[in-house]
Structure formats: C-alpha cells, structure tokens
Amino acid sequence: MSYLDTVKALIEDWKRKDLDAVANYVTDDLVYFYAAGQAPINGKKAFRAFLETIKEHQQQPAWRIKRSAESVNTLFVEGVDDYVNPAGHHIQTPYVGIYEFRDGKISAWRDYFDFELLKKMETGEAPNEHYQALAKA
C-alpha cells in the first residue's frame, strides 16, 4: 500500500468515526502537530484521546486530498478539511499535511492551515474569496 493509500484509508475510517481504526495507522510514539504553533500531541494514546475530543464536533466529514507527492518515507498532501460543526456552520479549511512513515505507519504528522481563520469560521464568519478559491481549487 502506498503512503497515499494509507492516508486515504485513514480518512475513510475517520469519516465513519472509527477512532480505533484511525489510531491503528500511527506508531505508538507518534508526534502529531494538529496546527503549526501549537504543542504536539505525543503518542498513539494521546492521539486517540484527541480524536475523541473532536469526533462529535466534526459532523458530516468530507475531508479530501487534492494533490500529493511522496518521497522515501514522507507524504506531502494538499487538501481541504471539510465538515459541519455542531452550530451548523460548514467549515472548509485548505491545508497542507506532511506525514512521515516508519514500518508502514505514520510516525510524524504535521498540518499547516490558518488556525485563526478556522476559529472565525467556527463562529459563522465567512472566509474571504481567496480562501474560498483555495478550498475549491
């Protein structure tokens, strides 16, 4: 299975909210940066606990990958995190994700997106036209 296939399978398990399956794609010593500038989530157990905290928040997930590139042990993706929050706001966040693999599992994961704009969209503020264009590109 390619690295891209692994992440696509992880996404499908997330859409089904199968947290145990999602956690099985990562190593026990995973280092996960949910957002640049925030402290990392360290380890599979902490990662699984984090997923539990966002599970009900991200309703109708339609997370997708638009472009990708692989190297020896790394996958780079450009995509859109797409869901509806409990207040009914449709959130579409363009992002870049970097996944490092060891023995077929994700050992490091870094996501880069505009976290401040995400927080505004969570309250119902519409993103500007340029941001919307990125989400559709």
Domain ranges of the chain: 3-136
The pLDDT of residue 25 is above 90: yes
Q: Write phi, then psi, for 136 (nearest 5 degrees).
A: -95, -20
The CATH architecture one would assign to domain 3-136 is Roll (3.10)
- Which pLDDT value is given to residue 136? 83
Q: Is 8 exposed, middle or buried (0-12, 13-18, 19+ CB in 10 A)?
A: middle
Average pLDDT over residues 70-98: 95
Place of tokens 């990392």: 40
For the stretch 106-135, pLDDT in tens is 999 999 999 988 999 999 998 888 888 888
- Alpha-carbon distance of 46 to 94, in angstroms, equals 25
> What stretches of 1-136 show up as alpha helix (H) in DSSP?
3-15, 19-23, 44-55, 115-122, 129-136
- Alpha-carbon distance of 125 to 137, in angstroms, equals 21
Note the pTM of the prediction, 2 decimals: 0.92
Place of tokens 């690295």: 3
Residue of 117, 70, 72, 58 whose CA lies nearest to 98: 70
For the stretch 26-46, pLDDT in tens is 999 999 999 888 999 999 999
Q: How many of the other CB atoms lie within 10 Å of CB of 71?
A: 9
Q: How many of the other CB atoms lie within 10 Å of CB of 125?
A: 11
The pLDDT of residue 87 is above 90: yes
